[in-house]
């Protein structure tokens, strides 16, 4: 796919996982503003997703729809993709954004932690890509994974999350090979964009992280959304790449 002026006569369809709120909602809004039809996936935030869908449909009728699935249950993934295609008739883009994030100090890691962190950050994107691949190939589409700068530079106290995101980074490059030449596959790796809502980082920790960026400020969900939009619609010769959107934090991050 290329820019908006060259989009198909029938508007392309994008599935964004975890798109009811926060970064996922910003990605959905940006792609919708570029002319795409949007399949909003959520697991629990149905009211938020329906509110966003209503806003998007007020701009263009029947351009957004809400779908629910628990991606930790892989048996729901193929039906989710099939539902998108049944609803819109095609699938041009997939953004794997849904993710769990919490600390797992070594010595305290449980099977439940493994199931959640590896399931949401690696296993679900793999099976989503597998289910979406025939449709993306048919459309000459694009797949974008949301990774993390800590996939390459692990964060102390978060070994399992970092490992899962590292696996997703490797999967991104592997899928670029597997799905070429029909489908482009890339990743966007956020830095300090939105803080977790459960106060995992206190004020001092947040300030230290921001001060370690070269730009000395945090980013916004729109920074991620703009990068996703670029890779999805304006980068026809880019595949197998990871773009760090982190204010320069990873340029000199030691740990």
Beta bridge partners of 185: 143
Contact criterion met (CB below 8 Å) for 53 and 66: yes
Cα torsion angle, 197, 201, 202, 204, sign? negative
Cα–Cα distance between 125 and 164 in angstroms, integer? Answer: 11
Cα torsion angle, 24, 29, 35, 39, sign? positive
- Mean model confidence pLDDT for the chain: 93
Residue 63 C-beta-side C-alpha neighbours within 13 Å: 21
Which two structure tokens, joined as six digits, stand for 151?
């996939």
Residues carrying an active site annotation: 161
The bridge status of strand 242-245 relative to strand 142-146 is: unpaired
At residue 203 the predicted structure's pLDDT band, cuts being 50, 70 and 90, is confident
Closest of 78, 186, 179 to residue 127, by C-alpha: 78
Contact criterion met (CB below 8 Å) for 144 and 188: yes
Answer yes or no: is pLDDT of 7 > 50: no
Answer yes or no: is pLDDT of 70 > 70: yes
Q: Enumerate the domain spans of the chain.
A: 4-249
Answer yes or no: is pLDDT of 124 > 70: yes
The bridge status of strand 64-68 relative to strand 93-96 is: unpaired
Q: What are the percentages of helix, strand and coil residues in the chain, rounded to 5?
A: 50, 15, 40
User: Which CATH architecture is the domain 4-249 placed in?
Assistant: 3-Layer(aba) Sandwich (3.40)
At residue 2 the predicted structure's pLDDT band, cuts being 50, 70 and 90, is very low
Cα torsion angle, 133, 137, 138, 139, sign? positive
Q: Which tens digit of pLDDT belongs to each residue from 157-201? A: 999 999 999 999 999 999 999 999 999 999 999 988 877 777 777
Which two structure tokens, joined as six digits, stand for 3?
């820019």
What is the pTM for the complete model shown? 0.93
């Amino acid at each position: 796919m290329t820019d908006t002026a060259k989009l198909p006569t029938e508007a392309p369809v994008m599935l964004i996982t975890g798109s009811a709120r926060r970064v996922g909602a910003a990605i959905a809004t940006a792609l919708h503003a570029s002319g795409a039809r949007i399949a909003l996936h959520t697991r629990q935030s149905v009211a938020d997703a329906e509110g966003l869908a209503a806003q998007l449909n007020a701009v263009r009728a029947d351009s957004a729809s809400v779908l629910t699935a628990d991606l930790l249950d892989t048996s729901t993934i193929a039906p989710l993709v099939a539902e998108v295609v049944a609803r819109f008739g095609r699938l041009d883009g997939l953004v794997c954004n849904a993710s769990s994030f919490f600390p797992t100090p070594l010595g305290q890691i449980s099977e439940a932690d493994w199931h959640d962190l590896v399931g949401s950050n690696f296993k679900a994107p793999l099976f989503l890509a597998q289910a979406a691949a025939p449709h993306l190939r048919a459309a000459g589409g694009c797949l974008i994974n949301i990774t993390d700068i800590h996939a390459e530079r692990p964060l102390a106290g978060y070994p399992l999350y970092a490992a899962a995101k590292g696996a997703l980074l490797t999967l991104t490059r592997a899928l670029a090979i597997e799905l070429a030449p029909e489908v482009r596959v890339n990743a966007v790796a956020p830095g300090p964009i939105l803080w977790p809502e459960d106060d995992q980082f206190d004020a001092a920790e947040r300030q230290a992280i921001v001060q370690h960026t070269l730009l000395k400020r945090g980013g916004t969900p729109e920074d991620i959304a703009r990068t996703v939009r670029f890779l999805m619609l304006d980068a026809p010769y880019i595949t197998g790449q990871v773009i760090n959107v982190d204010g320069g934090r990873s340029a000199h991050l030691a740990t």
